[in-house]
Homo-oligomer: A and B are copies of this chain.
């Protein structure tokens, strides 16, 4: 919320995801909730995602054309989903007699770079939105989208609407951004997968960044990064109640020492493992592969490089990528290996399990306890990475859920009920 002294009103920033606006009845509920704040005298800046079913429908259409559709045109296509949502939510608010106006990403002043499908926000110019608040009580901004300097439509990639909401909050000088979901906050792990998961009241940006980027699925990592950078507190809460949810903020300094080094456990099923086999062991080969992936807009995550084996001049390397970029990766890697030799394989049947906590790096034995718990679920550990605040392992996806439960229990995160 931000108090605007000049105009004597405060602005509340809210984001509603694809499930919350999934059909007209749900949109009606969202409008009711927004009205609640307008009636209290607030101005509300709302960000909405595409209706859940619409996104799937659009992706299906593109995939009917090509397994690797043009990324620029995919952005033009996908951006229509959020545009439909802003129109429908604004219509509903107007129908209820609330002064509301929709804004596409472009209209709301979102300038991004030109990376189709994974664009980054360069600047948010809040001029039009602030101007609109003179006449309207609610502005409804399309999440997930912007335009580049040439006027091309861009999208921010998976979960980009969270980032839009936080960026709006930052641009308007709001100190808090409400992210509405179908659960009442952030949990120690996905409650759909582990029923004993417990709600977290307060979590640090750094912990949340790891949980977000590791597949907890509640918040988009770039949104958390953006919030940390601009000091925006993220309030993850339920669209079904007015109860307080989970607050993501800078609590590292104030944290109370606890006997629980792990705050949460994340499971990411959206990754694939790429193995490069028998590629020439020459300097610069890795750089060439990752340059090709970078050009295709693909980030490699966990990277391991094997010790040269019997064939001393050939080496192995493995890394993980987003599963849904596997087709593009195949093309990019093929073009490099065609020139330098070697071959590769992609395994989509893997999962990454991670434990996260501010004290993970400073607490001895956390990694050992993770390995023990994973083993107790009969899962083989294929890859390992660690950082100050987390330990991640890659395992086969058919063992993932059992391993998640074991790790969640190991660190005393199960609810007592």
Residues of A within 8 A of B (CB): 24, 27, 58, 61-62, 64-66, 69-70, 72-74, 76-77, 79-80, 83-84, 86-88, 90-92, 94-95, 101-102, 104, 106-107, 128, 151, 153
Contacts and interface: CB of A to CB of B under 8 A. Distances in A.
Nearest to A82: B80
A91 B79 contact: no
A80 B74 contact: no
Contacts of A95: 65-66, 69-70
A55 to B, nearest CB: 12
Contacts of A65: 24, 27, 88, 91-92, 95
Given A61-B24, A107-B151, A151-B107, A87 B66 contact: no
Nearest to A140: B73
Contacts of A90: 70, 73, 76
A87 B73 contact: yes
Contact of A58 (B76, B77, B84, B86): B84
A107 B72 CA distance: 14
Given A72-B101, A77-B88, 17 more contacts: A61-B84, A69-B95, A70-B91, A70-B94, A73-B90, A73-B91, A74-B91, A76-B83, A76-B102, A77-B87, A77-B91, A80-B83, A80-B84, A83-B83, A104-B153, A106-B151, A128-B151
Contacts of A104: 76, 153
